[in-house]
Amino acid sequence: MKNFRILLIPFILTISACGWFKQPPEIGKVLSEHFKNKIYKDFDTVAYDSVFVKTLDSLNNAFVNPKTIKAFYASHHSQPKLVTKFFVDGGLDSLSQYLQNSTIHGFNPKVFKTQEIRNLLEQLSANTFKKVEESYPVIARLELLSANAYLNYTNYLKFGVVNPRNLFSRYYIKVKRPDSVGMIKLLDSEHILDTLRAVQPKSAQYRALQTAYLNASSEDEKRILSLNMERYRWKLPETGENYVQVNIPDFKLTWFDKQDTLISMKVCVGGKREAGYEDKLKAFAKSGNLDDKPKNHETPLLFSKINSIQANPIWNIPVSIAQSEIYWMARKDPYYLSNSNIKVYYKDKLIGEPDTINWNKYSRDKLPFKFKQGSGGGNALGKFKFIFDNGSSIYLHDTNNKNGFNLANRAISHGCVRIEKPLEFAELLVKDPYTYDKLRAEVDLPPVDSTHNKWYKKRMAAKADTTKSFQLKPAWFGPKKPVPLIITYLTAWSQNDKIEYRPDIYGLDEKLWAAMKKFR
């Protein structure tokens, strides 16, 4: 008997602490007082718990976050927390109203089971149950559907309905996603209406797109606006108020400082992947033949910080370009490499006369050489390269071919971003007249400040001295401070109180639209 009492003490402490098994429980008190109905004083927690578990099992597969919901109610002894706190004060009515109005965000209220929640609220409000146990299925279902809808609605608005990193192979921007800690905190909220208000997107861009969406008559226009509203819901890294943005569909770089634009210029971005890319990639995986390898030069989406400028850059030619282009050009013209200022390395040693290489001895898929294009006017990177950390060997750079900026479709590069005004961009980055004039001198431009003429004259004299061998080399410069850079993909945005639209050059809208199908 003594041992039994010892075992019983923890059990008594547990049920006393949780308060759920008190007679009547909190839900019984709340409903009894609200409806002036005595049946709720007989609320049986054990009987309700049985109904709740069965209801949870029946709905579990339809939930987006079933583990989190299960964990929350397991830790609260299956108590109907939301109904207890928010039925009488109108919080659940507010939730159903927000769900019904989710069309303003491009959602279909059906995805939240809005009508069923409203029906359950009406059933409970009707106060027509003859016995308290008749209310258990209604309360349990209302609790769980409300919890699921509340989590989904807030998560979709705070983080977006799609994780772009799971959808797009070249999306390298880290995005925050919902976690169980945050969701349990939401379910434990004391002020559901405050949360619903706070979660509404507040950015000027989102609101402008939302207004246009509500006013649009064309389904195609609504589709584009909806897709870009979703992009603005993704929780991206903080850029701060001073940052550089490259928008791929717009073929444009813009440097923002708060509400002002410091500079804007055309860019050329990576070319679109080959038609039928996925199928061709599978064929290449089977054959291993480079002739079967499809081309994909699409510029990746990323976030980083510009940390250095290289004047008179050297181009370390990627293996893919060496195999697909340099190899064939060298076979066709033995003097192509020397005429293009391209140096060839074998086991990291420079080959003195690359024009003598017998390319017939080497297959392009097993080239033992590395290729580097030296500094100078013919360099594909032009006179400047702007470097930022990323895993794709992508950078912003000048170009020796300015004609590309005259094209309407400027998706023509191998993946890096060619910029139209590199010198002006460099000036904004260094933010120092002394450093800027040093940079100008490296590319044979006279200084802006005439007191710095000495550098320029010294350099030009060295280049003109035929008794010495002048070698053009890269020179490094640091920006005043690293500048955030985001390479993004927007096909609709607000500019000067007008919505701008751009073509979906990479087909990412189409892919995103398919992924969002179940939310429409």
Provide the 3-class DSSP secondary structure of residue 379: coil
CB 379 within 8 A of CB 341: yes
The torsion angles phi and psi of 370, rounded to 5 degrees, stand at: -115, 145
Longest distance between any two alpha carbons in the chain, whole Å: 110
268 given a catalytic annotation:
no
416 given a catalytic annotation:
yes
Which of 105, 268, 297, 397 is labelled catalytic?
397
Q: 144: which 2 tokens?
A: 């769980």
**Distant-in-sequence, close-in-space partners of 496: CB < 8 Å, separation ≥ 6:** none
Q: Cα(first)–Cα(last) distance of the chain, in Å? A: 63
Q: Of 73, 23, 13, which is closest to residue 46 (Cα–Cα)?
A: 23
Residues facing residue 264 across a β-bridge: 254
Burial class (CB in 10 A: 0-12, 13-18, 19+), 113: buried
Which of 105, 268, 297, 416 is labelled catalytic?
416
Sheet holding 349-350, edge to edge: 315-316, 369-373, 342-346, 349-350
Burial class (CB in 10 A: 0-12, 13-18, 19+), 230: buried
Strand 384-388 to strand 302-311: parallel, antiparallel, or no bridges (unpaired)? antiparallel
Helical (H) or strand (E) element with 91? helix 91-100
DSSP E strand stretches across 325-366: 342-346, 349-350
Q: Which residues are catalytic?
A: 397, 416
